[in-house]
Amino acid sequence: MSDNYESGKVMDRKEHFGCLKVFGIVLVTVIITVLATLWVAKAYIFPSAFKPVTLSGKEEVQLSAKLSRLDQISGIDVSRKIGSPGQADQTPVNTGKAESPVKYSETDAERRISFTQRELNGMIARNPDLARKLSIDLSEDLVSARLLVPVDPDFPVLGGKTIRVHVGLTLAYENSQPVVALKGIKLMGVPIPNAWLGGIKNIDLVDAFGADEGFWKAFAAGIEAVKVGDGRLMVEFKE
């Protein structure tokens, strides 16, 4: 009789601990699910603005020198278009000082220019509209960009929200010509199928369209070399 009583007590304890175990697993699962949902909402549905890169005084001087050299190489007033630190939304003021005449010459002209990842993000930070919505990462033969994109208010579900987009672009130089190819696009952390992108993922756009008259042919004809490394972009232009 006592043996049956003891066996019953053991069974009750096992059932009790079994119920507690199941309850604990369910509770942990619910907590993890809630935390994951909150993280997804924070990271992708209600993402925080990016923190703009602030260059040091020395970095600003180096960047200004590089932009001035790019002005000379490209013939475009890149420095004015990008703007100066903290003055992106101001209209340039005419000081009345005339620039000294300079004779044009390409003798010993520097045709190679490089930018660090910090310098590129520093240039973006000069534009108040882009400063907190775009950031660039440079790795081996890859340029990555993170963007915060506002969704049209009339769009279903996500209308009026700001979503996070991540783009990867292969940039290299092979077989005497630049290589530009879309690595992929992620929307809210999810890669977009190649079919939705028109099948252009990992397609070298210069090789595919460079034979035709237009942008890609002209672009390739003006590039002598391009190299993307860890945190640095280098471009060399042809004569």
Least confident of 47-61, 70-84, 144-158: 70-84
| Range from 24-33, 67-76, 85-94, 192-201 that averages highest in pLDDT | 192-201
Q: Where are the beta strands (DSSP E) in the chain?
A: 112-116, 134-139, 142-150, 162-174, 177-187, 190-191, 223-229, 232-237
The residue extents of the domains of the chain are 1-46, 57-87+110-237
Q: Where do we find the tokens 């790795």?
A: 139
Sheet with 162-174, side-by-side order of all strands: 134-139, 142-150, 162-174, 177-187, 190-191
**Percent of the chain with pLDDT strictly greater than 90:** 28
Inform me whether the pLDDT recorded for 159 exceeds 80: no
Q: Please report, as a single letter, which amino acid is at residue 109.
A: A
Q: What is the pTM of this model?
A: 0.65
Q: How many residues does the chain have?
A: 239
> Could you give the dihedral angle defined by the CA atoms of residues 218, 142, 147 and 33, in that order, rounded to the nearest 10 degrees?
150
Q: CA-CA distance, 30 to 204, in Å (whole number)?
A: 46
Q: To the nearest whole number, what is the mean pLDDT of the chain?
A: 76
Q: CA-CA distance, 6 to 57, in Å (whole number)?
A: 81
pLDDT tens digits, residue range 191-228? 999 999 999 999 999 999 888 888 899 999 999 999 99
Q: Is 12 exposed, middle or buried (0-12, 13-18, 19+ CB in 10 A)?
A: exposed
* pLDDT value at residue 61: 84
* pLDDT value at residue 172: 94
* pLDDT value at residue 60: 84
End-to-end Cα, the chain, rounded Å: 104
